[in-house]
Amino acid sequence: MRSAIRVLVVDDSALVRQMLCRALSAAPGIDVVGTAGTGFEAINKALELQPDVITLDIQMPELSGLEALPQIVRNTPARVVMLTAVEDPDTAYEALDLGATDFVVKPRKGLASSLAEAAEVLVRKIEIASRVPPERRLIRRAEGAGSPKPVRSPRQSAPRGFEKVVAIAASTGGPPALEVVFSALNTDLPAAYVIVQHLPAGFADPLARRLSRTTDIAVSVPSTGTVLQQGMAYLAPHGTHMRVEGRTVPRLQLESSPPLHSVRPAADPLFESVAARFGDKAVGVVLSGMGVDGATGMRAIRDAGGATIVQDEETSVVWGMPGAAVRAGAAAEVVPLSAVAGRIRRAVGV
């Protein structure tokens, strides 16, 4: 029988700490072992209590959660779920870079006033984080970092024609992994890119900007009817599934059909549409993530003659989605994160 997940709750508000403790203690399989109100106290309690998971508020006096995070990751095996505001997505992505396993967005009116809504999400994130081996908390950014930043080329003459479409899916651990992959790709490749990354509302546009800073490929959040172009990447917006349609001119279609695998956007509808539209010109990629999203669509791409690439277990924060693709017989190649971009380049003929 699996032992209870030992959780340390960190927030500068005594009321929020109290309400979080009450909500988490009511969840089966979670044991709140302590609380802390400052970053310094969080570090000391983490060392003393050795919790499995820490819920860590970003905004705190004296030492912020972002400042305390590296010391917690370096000196304890705790997995960290950050509590962040929807108005500050860039800080949440920075926390992932520093070793946080995931983040939860606080309701706009404050966690205390909407705790029932936030607690269910937080419990699920804690359960996922607890399964992450401590050594996988940090994406091995050194494998993909350090490359010279590409010079952005003018966009007015960018050609619309392309030979391949690369469809990429990711979830937990995905944003840093996507940065590693795109840092090794550029507009010279005869391909367009379509991406599903499971994110809360308000976090897609900031991620697109972050990815654009790693490469000369322009990454954007499209609207329905957007025409695919070579050397451009399109990140599915929150709350809609994204598909590729159009017999002569491939366009992106956004639709609000029911969630699939409890997420919207889901990767399977996108992958299946890419397989149907492009056949052996399709490339499917599944990166780190919890769940099974992408496995069925990846199988469709492989059955259509396309290339399929999966991030391996050792370099994935969570090997749920990649593992599901492997078990479905959809993965032609299973490679470390550092090798994914190279396999994409080879699959598009470069």
Q: Is there a common fold for 5-136 and 146-347?
A: yes
Catalytic residue among 171, 273, 288, 316: 171
Report residue 112's pLDDT band, with 50, 70 and 90 as the boundaries: low
CA angle 55-130-91, nearest 5°?
A: 40
Indicate the range of 38-47, 147-156, 275-284, 337-346 predicted with least confidence: 147-156
Report residue 116's pLDDT band, with 50, 70 and 90 as the boundaries: low
Catalytic residue among 241, 293, 312, 316: 293
Report residue 111's pLDDT band, with 50, 70 and 90 as the boundaries: low
For the entire predicted model, the pTM comes to 0.92
What homologous superfamily does CATH list for 146-347? Methylesterase CheB, C-terminal domain (3.40.50.180)
CATH of the structural domain 5-136, one choice from 3.30.70.20, 3.40.50.1100, 3.40.50.300, 3.40.50.2300: 3.40.50.2300
| Active-site annotation holds for 25 | no
Look at residue 121 and tell me whether its pLDDT is greater than 80.
yes
| Active-site annotation holds for 171 | yes
Give 209-269 as a DSSP string.
Answer: HHHHTTSSSEEE---TTPBP-TTEEEEPPTTSEEEEE-SSS-EEEEE-PPPBTTBSS-HHH
Catalytic residue among 57, 102, 198, 261: 198
The helix (H) or strand (E) run that includes residue 17 is helix 14-25
The domain limits of the chain are: 5-136, 146-347
